[in-house]
Chains A and B, each alone.
Chain A
């Protein structure tokens, strides 16, 4: 029997990390080639998994089940549905391009790649696990390597030459914050496990059990916020977001790419899969709050981004602002909005990876990320500048890029339930345009500062590959979103329909009766 796809996706970077341990430190070229190969395999398998997923059949596919601890009901259970397939592909693309971008790392290459591959394995594990125990296990596995990655290979966040946040602070804060969130979520998971009566950590079994014997709403009301807030920390949900922009800013570019591109999506994915998926009554109770928080994310994050002067902090706060749309899409409890939220996770992941990659290039070349110090780089680095303009336009939701389709779906899906929040969200798009264009204007346009006369472009096809790949995928799903939407919708729609009938159907029932009923003679007072 050939190796099932999810196992191959997961094992390739894990094995890569193990093999790297055995290689001599000074063999940089070999180390890099090995990392690229292992990620290439994962990417190919992820693509295959997405291509072969059958949206008509729906549900979990490519499943692998290996019983592990029977007495506790813990299995090694891997598999994908439409939502996780898309996110696995996102992660594979970001990780593959991240490995390529990591060629800029010159110190302690071996250790760097080991940690990086472990991080990648952890994230794949979360998306692929259909067992709560391993879900949590991989989640922690993804968080831990961030500490050395930021602490060793990161850079301080400076403001006019003065250190504002040291990389040690950023690393410590991120790790402690995310672990704290994870522990809160773990409490929720264990409570859920104990009270469900299914005696199983297996997500599929749990889901089946809860469908026939749902938890009491009084219980869901408590477990839901534990899961939503615990995983919301990484989403990042306002006001628990402050680890993220600083973490992004201090991390090396390839790590920021994964971090903002994929790691944040772990939170929203967990909320969709566990909190909303398993606790429908809790969801209905708490989602209006999440919608309100989402608006805070969008507007507050956007305005804070507007006030930043460090390029990575701008992109970092923009990420936390854009994740607000994802949260809003989840909170709307409508299939369209959830489709949009998942598609936005994908599109935003690529866009933000692109932005961090090019900011990393700018930083490597100029040794500064402070906006007022930069200027006119387009003359020296037209390719990178072009990518910068594209990232800015994609980020501000220009049609043609995936972000537009995704945001459109969130707004359309959310209009009935939360019109005010949707209008605020639309305004967020204006804010995005303000700070993204300022970023482009300040970095690439204007007169070239003499200090940057020797800045180099990404000139070789190999150096350009990650940028071109990210842009190509963004354009592809922006121009022809149908196949991917079909995939997402196959899993998002059943999930929502289990929970909530659409409010418009109720409204229409009214209208029908209005038409059919004979007009009662009106009494005049």
Chain B
């Protein structure tokens, strides 16, 4: 029963192609589980083949859309649950937003899948890895292509589950096992709010219980009218907006729920690149774009979103200053860049947000894969134990350099254009955020240059070796995308024609970036300023940053003391001593004691019974006398 809601009339093949995009990775995941779990080569082939199929199909839709813009948007839908009073569809909504995101997920994803062949070559759970990766690709595409809130939530939870499984891929390492659990639980807490937001949105979607809906387009068409007629309580919509924002707060790891992302680096590096940099963590930003029609009418929510984004951008950039683990530096950088995107959304610029999401997917995936290549070649990820990688690992170093330059917004590279869009937006709408964003750009340049100078230049340690071609290939591809990403016309594809180039903003951010780079070079490259002395001079802020603002400690304290000892402990105490001990066992004991008491009467001695008999008779006889 396939109902086509918005008929893609110019494209007869569209239903087949679209369902293939979504379901091919799921098929691969199932096949790997059933037949491929002990066949390494087969499982990798299946996973990569399926994702490439999705990519090619997406590319086909993209080309058709370029050729004839009237093709988009189209929608396919089947009904998943249909009861009187409740219809939950499962479908595909293909518009420019989802098409761009699908291209990113399948394209960058394919590169990372191929890279994994090399990176995971010696892993004993190779097939399981590719199986879960495929499941992840399916779940992510479910989020991207969904046409209703429940389907989106399904994908949302499934990517969280895949993230849990992949972070804990090396489950025997206690740190990895803990990190997976932490990621899942933090996201669960956020999704608690998100889910209630979805419920509430459904409840207000129609005054008639049987006509309520989760469907994006139906909601978009209905809600303004309902709000206008006053059929929605006034305070309800901002509340729903905040609750829905809880979703991105967890998934895109915004402050103060960011704590899981740095720990998630315990997973294999391709996972960090795909899930914890390019796609899953960007799902929050995607969600904000998808529901932008709702958020943009809620100014109080928008203000919250932009400040949360800006503070995430700034605070995590600070944390990257003092981090010594190469992957964790990149993780903080991801947090910071996600903050930029969320800030862009909060400022009312979904196109700028999506633009930065796309270029970030290119250059951050590149950075992570380059870092993975370093780890593969040296078995080391502490930047202070690395060094002198330029000569033994030229391709990797080149890739990292391009990624790093794109990240800090070097003119001409992709990051320059997308970050600039956000800063221009901030310059127009909120000057405080503009300065905060610009400052963060300088800090970004500083921390990535620090990583570069410490880990890649200087004296060589150990015997690093360059990675195999199967890993270098994806690096080259992503490096190319990071370079040209700014010239692909992404904002135009999303329907924004863009204002004139803002020279003042660009000049300012360039100056700040240059300052950051030079400072990093002076300290870590030329070593004109001693890093040691600097740390001594700034001991207090340094240790504050090293302890990550004590946020992890606060949460750990909450979990161990409040949640576990106080609440759970109290409930367990009540259970043990009041309900079991007092009420149940007490009743049993009472019955037993009553029995004992009555047993006292049963002495078996005729004299006692005769005495009782006598007393009874006297008592009976006394009744008439007393009256």
Contacts and interface: CB of A to CB of B under 8 A. Distances in A.
27 contacts: A176-B588, A239-B579, A239-B583, A242-B583, A303-B568, A304-B572, A308-B572, A335-B84, A339-B83, A376-B172, A396-B188, A399-B157, A399-B158, A404-B154, A405-B81, A409-B81, A415-B203, A423-B196, A427-B192, A438-B181, A446-B177, A447-B172, A448-B172, A482-B79, A482-B82, A489-B84, A507-B207
Given A242-B575, A441-B181, A426 B196 contact: yes
A481 interface: yes
A485 interface: yes
Interface string A174-191: 001100000000000000
Contacts of A306: 563-564, 568, 571
Contacts of A412: 86, 199, 202
A441 B185 CA distance: 13
A445 B158 contact: no
A173 interface: yes
Contacts of B178: 441
A398 B86 contact: no
B161 A398 contact: yes
A430 B188 contact: yes
A429 B202 CA distance: 20
B208 interface: yes
B539 interface: no
A231 interface: no
A335 B85 contact: yes
A511 interface: yes
Given A430-B189, A433-B188, A448-B172, A307 B86 contact: no
A478 B79 CA distance: 14
Contacts of A481: 80-81
B569 interface: yes
B150 interface: yes
A505 interface: yes
Q: Which of B82, B177, B207, B208 has the most CB of A within 10 A?
A: B177
- The residue among A307, A502, A508 with the most chain B CB atoms within 10 A of its own CB is A307
A511 B204 CA distance: 13
A504 B209 contact: yes
Interface residues of B, number: 50
Interface in B213-269: 231
B572 to A, nearest CB: 4
Contacts of A398: 157-158, 161
Q: Is the interface of B mostly helix, strand, loop or mixed?
A: helix
A304 B577 CA distance: 13
Interface string B77-94: 001111111100000000
A373 interface: no
Contacts of B157: 398-399, 404
Nearest to A515: B229
Counting from the closest, the 3 A-B pairs by CB-CB distance are A504-B209, A307-B572, A445-B177
Contacts of A246: 580
B579 A485 contact: no
A273 interface: no
Interface string B141-181: 00000000010011001100100010010011010011001
A124 B483 CA distance: 68
B129 interface: no
Contacts of B184: 433, 437
Contacts of B570: 303
A507 B153 CA distance: 29
Contact of B172 (A308, A427, A430, A446): A446
Contact of A173 (B154, B171, B572, B584): B584
B195 interface: yes
A409 B83 CA distance: 10
B177 A441 contact: yes
Contacts, number: 132
Contact of A447 (B174, B202, B208, B584): B174
Residue of A176, A405, A446 with most partner-chain B CB within 10 A:
A446
B6 interface: no
A433 B158 CA distance: 14
Contacts of B158: 398-400
A300 interface: yes
Nearest to A480: B80
B567 interface: yes
A177 B208 CA distance: 45
A433 B563 CA distance: 14
Nearest to A511: B207
A275 B315 CA distance: 58
Contact of B195 (A173, A243, A300, A426): A426
A447 B84 CA distance: 51
A380 to B, nearest CB: 11
B568 A307 contact: yes
A524 B567 CA distance: 53
A393 B185 CA distance: 12
A493 B84 contact: yes
A234 B111 CA distance: 55
Contacts of A176: 588
A433 B191 CA distance: 12
A376 B177 CA distance: 10
Interface in A332-380: 335-336, 339, 376, 378-379
A422 interface: yes
Nearest to B203: A415
A242 B579 contact: yes
Chain B CB within 10 A, most for which of A306, A399, A415, A448: A399
Most buried by B among A415, A423, A433: A433
A278 B541 CA distance: 70
Given A433-B188, A504-B208, 6 more contacts: A239-B579, A242-B575, A336-B86, A415-B202, A437-B185, A482-B79
Nearest to B578: A239
A8 B171 CA distance: 48
A502 B84 CA distance: 12
A488 B569 CA distance: 39
A389 B164 CA distance: 11
Contacts of B202: 412, 415
Contacts of A505: 209
A381 interface: no
Interface string A447-490: 11000000000000000000000000000000001100100010
Contacts of B153: 399
